[in-house]
Amino acid sequence: MQHKITVPPIFEHPKYWAECYGTAPFLPTSRAEMDELGWDSCDIIIVTGDAYVDHPSFGMAVVGRLLEAQGFRVGIIDQPDWHSKDAFMALGQPNLFFGITAGNMDSMINRYTADRKLRHDDAYTPNNEGGKRPDRAVLVYSQRCREAYKETPIVLGGIEASLRRVAHYDYWSDKVRRSVLLDAKGDILLFGNAERALVEVAHRIAAGEDVKAMTNIRGTAVVLPEAPTNYKLIDSSRIEKPGKAFVAPNPYEYQTDCDSKASAQSEPQQVEPQPIVVRPSRHDAETTAVRLPPFEKLHNDRILYAHASRVLHLETNPYSGRALIQRHGDRELWVNQAPIPLTTEEMDHVFGLPFARVPHPKYGKAKIPAYDMIKTSINIMRGCFGGCSFCSITEHEGRIIQNRSKESILSEIEDIRDKVPGFTGVISDLGGPTANMYRLGCMDEKAEINCRRPSCVFPDICKKLNTDHKHTIDLYREARKVDGVKKVMVASGVRYDLAIESPEYVKELVTHHVGGYLKIAPEHTEKSPLDLMMKPGMGTYDKFKAMFEKYSAEAGKKQYLIPYFISAHPGTTDEDMLNLALWLKRNDFQCDQVQNFYPSPMCNATSMYYSETNPLKRVKYKKREEVAVPKGDRQRRLHKALLRYHDPANWKLIREALVAMGKRHLIGDKPSCLVPAEDRNEQTPAQRRKSGRHGANRFATKHSSNQPHHKQGQHGQRTDNKANDSGGKTKVKRGKGSNNQANNGSNPGHAKSQRRGQGKGRPNAR
């Protein structure tokens, strides 16, 4: 049996000698700023692909301020010209190491659309200017730092490094690539929100230890010449043999007796078929590691890749998950166990650091859209136990929620009031990866330590999960009382499957924290894609909608829900998308600017996309569960077009598809038809878009990120009572006369920068 691990708090390390220099108003980005601070050199230099914004939602600021609080002199090289080493020498040679990050988004997702087309903007750059960071920024920045100062250690971190820490499928090259640590030739890689590992690495290097000897730090990956001798290695095929025949009733086989045999026996015996048990290994996680298939085999074997991805996801529990080892050529990639989650005291320490809360003054009056989006929003927690297959938050931040104290959050509201220029009294969001997981978690410590489920809410809400929203309700009420605050919005994705467990929370949310529209994410209406997304059916959506409308009416407010949907997700057929389009038309919804599924690194859905196999079930070569994946340009365009069935530009493509599907009866002028029999060009483009004076019903949203036996409705719709929030990018408008749904007009970028393929989202990942 595993046990909880106690580690020293990150704020109890002895301070480095340079603490005598005190706190800088901004971390220096030039020699002149260093001179003003009286520094002759920097101890640590952070190289980042984002503009430097001294705000706790920007990774370089959190990392820099945290290291500063440890006594180190930290400099920032932001968005350097990567065409030569010169810009990387601007602050001189760091005494300890370079910290390399692509920024708050993977640089490839930041630069390219889901259709692999070039973006011409960048929300993390002054004036939204595109092209200020290279493709695969971690690799390029590391190379330039090595050219500048060959012997200086290089520490990789941030979302790009974190989600590419092992051999991974890369959508843009359409192949499996090596771990970014090997390609970047870095010395050590930190994954997740890496405060704990970062502080330890910094102090150990400062104490004179060789970074190459730091092979045992949780939350890090290193390259070794050979496997460690003090670990017993278990081949991944011993955990789940890829060739073994297997039948399971559920989308994900998980352990049901994870706390103890006694408690399992005390439960009443169920007659219905039970999920297959995947028990925690009897091997001690502190002395055993799992060997993943080598990169060279994954490079040519899609089924083996799906197996490796599944095993990786099974080993993410920070208490019982084991270290991983993967051969790359003649070297071994060693991935240590996941980091121990931060305590509330540590979270308060991190978010209480002396942030200026504004961009660096050198940008002048230039606008940085990502900052404008989140400057008055607050992260109240980290992590997500939703486990949506298209989302990478769980793989990055973990499944265990890390909470701030109410006092820390209220203090930050006051800080925003006092520091943010032009503050109008509106807090744009209290949330994080989701709006309502604050202080929720497992009620059984033994279960939490040993659990290997990827989600606490799919296929059902776990009976051991605390769903009491009392802490969130209390936080909302206290936040509204802060002097100078007129309105507190909630813009993060609401997990409405959790929300309906607490009607009091829904009433509080709807009465006080919705600005006319609330964004929620059913993602689809059809059973097959929903199962693969690990999302619920529409029953929970309908239940939440009824509660939303009831409490809106009681508050005397006219408010709407806006649903989000994903197009071209693995497992989605043309028929599934057609049924979704018909649902949209029946409910008078019109989606605009739809973004197809984006295969971001490490997601389960990305494994589905590449392998065309379901990694949520045990993977096998024979009789495996194949997944239909919309990959061709024409099919992906069709799925997009069906979500925009109302746009005349899509009618020709939709008509051709309907004829091919034998659905000619959906072409015509009847109310039941999806598209007219012939193009209608009577309206101007502005009228069709409902822009200008026709735009009263038009508004924009952005996308965010469960049951063994469920009822099935018309066209295979899921009607069970489970649901969740998500990602992607959509504009939705509500047709006249609809009494259905709409958007929470607050912070379109809040919440999930890495969710659903990292659409342009909240910059909260490090």
DSSP code at position 203? H
Give, in order, the Cα–Cα distances in Å from 746 to each of 265, 349, 409, 428, 526. Answer: 48, 28, 19, 6, 29
Burial of 589 (0-12, 13-18, 19+ CB in 10 A): buried
Gyration radius from the chain CA atoms:
25
Biggest CA-to-CA distance, the chain: 78
Cα–Cα distance for residue pair 302/300, rounded to 1 Å: 7
Contact status, residue 368 vs residue 78, Cβ threshold 8 Å: no
In sequence order, the β-bridge partners of residue 168 are 177
Instruction: Please indicate if the annotation marks 391 as binding a ligand.
Output: yes
Contact status, residue 325 vs residue 227, Cβ threshold 8 Å: yes
Instruction: Please indicate if the annotation marks 388 as binding a ligand.
Output: yes
Cα–Cα distance for residue pair 580/730, rounded to 1 Å: 15
Contact status, residue 410 vs residue 474, Cβ threshold 8 Å: no
Say which amino acid occupies 508: E
Give, in order, the Cα–Cα distances in Å from 479 to each of 332, 437, 451, 636. Answer: 50, 17, 35, 44
Say which amino acid occupies 174: D
Contact status, residue 725 vs residue 521, Cβ threshold 8 Å: yes
E strand or H helix at 147, and its extent? helix 137-148
Secondary structure class of 529 (helix, strand, coil): helix
Quick one: tokens of 594? 């739809």
User: DSSP labels for 424-483?
Assistant: -SEE-EEESSSSS-TT-EES-HHHHHH---S-SSSSS--TTEE---HHHHHHHHHHHTST
Give, in order, the Cα–Cα distances in Å from 399 to each of 35, 160, 454. Answer: 44, 19, 8
**φ/ψ of residue 589, rounded to 5:** -105, 145
**Annotated binding site for [4Fe-4S] cluster, which residues?**
384, 388, 391
Pick out the residues of the known binding site: 384, 388, 391
